[in-house]
Amino acid sequence: MSLSDPIGDMLARIKNSQMRNHKKVELPSSKFKIKLAEVLKSEGYIIDYMVTEDKKPNLKINLKYNLGNPVISTIERVSKPGRRIFSSAESLPKINNGLGIAIVSTPKGVMTDIDARKQNLGGEIICKVF
């Protein structure tokens, strides 16, 4: 079965798993999904992730909670397959006055909006996390 939006599927699985207080979420793996998980881990939104190779590569994400509440309160897709959203370095959005992050796909890789501003890079805004 092919998905029309695998990144949207990943974000929906994370959101749904945290609403049900699951400790882990497992989904099909890709290089781009691993980069997204890497950014979420470095920013402290998830505990860890790992890639398993059974028949197909799977990405297992260990979700993070603070006093029983999910650390990720909202995770929302911005750029969709039907409508791509690009932004220059100057006009990258600030999420909740800098408390959240926007994950941006730049020519130098996937990074947060803060890192993209520091390196003066624009790109496609993948999602907002708060």
Dump pLDDT digits (tens) for 78-106: 999 999 999 999 999 999 998 999 999 99
**CA atoms of 32 and 94, how far apart (whole Å):** 23
Amino acid 54: pLDDT = 86
For the 75-129 domain, the top CATH level (class) is alpha beta
Which part of the chain is CATH 3.30.1370.30? 6-70
Q: What is the pLDDT along the chain (130 residues), one digit of tens a residue?
A: 468 999 999 999 999 999 999 999 999 999 999 999 999 999 999 999 999 998 999 999 999 999 999 999 999 999 999 999 999 999 999 999 989 999 999 999 999 999 999 999 999 999 999 9
- Domain 6-70 fold is Ribosomal Protein S8; Chain: A, domain 1 (3.30.1370)
Which part of the chain is CATH 3.30.1490.10? 75-129
Q: What sign results for the dihedral spanned by CA atoms 43, 108, 25, 6?
A: positive
